[in-house]
Chains A and B, each alone.
Chain A
Amino acid sequence: GAVVSQHPSWVICKSGTSVKIECRSLDFQATTMFWYRQFPKQSLMLMATSNEGSKATYEQGVEKDKFLINHASLTLSTLTVTSAHPEDSSFYICSGGRDSNQPQHFGDGTRLSIL
């Protein structure tokens, strides 16, 4: 089955630091990948759609200059949280699938804690 690898699993850093999260499709090519954020006791909220070779599409209320997405290859999408602050602390998860109409498979997620 489709496998998605996400790295790192945990990040703890000081306020003002920029943090990069990687999402890789291991056994398929993904022209589209998705980035989600989940706060405690809430459901996943789609942040943006990452498109290989073109600009990401951001959901309403998500700052594109704050959350930089790069999808330079068919197997790698990255999310950079720039100048992170404590309110950015959350669980960030990416997903991908062989086809955007097929079930998505999720990375293990990244727990980001900003002190």
Chain B
Amino acid sequence: RKEVEQDPGPFNVPEGATVAFNCTYSNSASQSFFWYRQDCRKEPKLLMSVYSSGNEDGRFTAQLNRASQYISLLIRDSKLSDSATYLCVVNENQYGGATNKLIFGTGTLLAVQP
């Protein structure tokens, strides 16, 4: 089983649609969680952190369910500029707490159509 699993996609949606991305992680000791966005042939950019209580940033809502080891990202009123690959990222503690490392999901490609 992969450490971080995401919907394979691609998702093709019309402008204005609501789209949801799901992600599960295997390490119950994972400490922090993020959604990154990666445009074609570019580096990943942080979209938002994911907090246990859930958090919202404009049209974007992230949720975390530690019991189910599940993370989600909801995009409302999608724009053409939202087209990108969305990466679910889990920060794992390793080496007895000395270092953390990011584990990336394979990403889900979103294509918003006019």
B91 near A101 (CB under 8 angstroms)?
Answer: yes
State in angstroms the CA–CA spacing of A69 and B71 once bound together: 33
A109 near B42 (CB under 8 angstroms)?
Answer: yes
A-B contact pairs, 10 of them (CB 8 A): A36-B104, A43-B105, A44-B87, A45-B104, A46-B102, A91-B41, A100-B101, A101-B31, A103-B34, A104-B46
Q: Is A20 an interface residue (CB 8 A)?
A: no
- Tell me the B residues contacting A by CB distance below 8 Å: 31-32, 34, 41-46, 49, 87, 91, 95, 99-107
Which one of A44, A49, A57, A107 lies within 8 Å of B104 (CB-CB)?
A: A44
- Tell me the A residues contacting B by CB distance below 8 Å: 32, 34, 36, 42-46, 49, 51, 57, 91, 93, 95, 100-101, 103-109, 111
Inside 8 A of B44's CB, which chain A residues have their CB?
A: 44, 93, 106
Q: A43-B87, A44-B44, A103-B46 are in contact. Are A95 and B106 (CB under 8 A)?
A: no
Which of A45, A95, A100 has the largest count of B CB atoms less than 10 A from its CB?
A100
A95 near B31 (CB under 8 angstroms)?
Answer: no
Q: A43-B106, A101-B91, A108-B43 are in contact. Are A49 and B101 (CB under 8 A)?
A: yes
Shortest CB distance A53–B (Å): 13
A100 near B99 (CB under 8 angstroms)?
Answer: yes
Closest A residue by C-beta to B32: A101
B102 near A93 (CB under 8 angstroms)?
Answer: no
Closest B residue by C-beta to A99: B100
Q: A34-B101, A101-B31, A101-B91 are in contact. Are A106 and B43 (CB under 8 A)?
A: yes
Inside 8 A of A93's CB, which chain B residues have their CB?
A: 43-44
Inside 8 A of B103's CB, which chain A residues have their CB?
A: 46
Inside 8 A of B101's CB, which chain A residues have their CB?
A: 34, 46, 49, 100
State in angstroms the CA–CA spacing of A46 and B102 once bound together: 8
Inside 8 A of A45's CB, which chain B residues have their CB?
A: 104
State in angstroms the CA–CA spacing of A101 and B98 once bound together: 10
B32 near A34 (CB under 8 angstroms)?
Answer: no
State in angstroms the CA–CA spacing of A111 and B83 once bound together: 22
B99 near A57 (CB under 8 angstroms)?
Answer: yes
A32 near B105 (CB under 8 angstroms)?
Answer: no
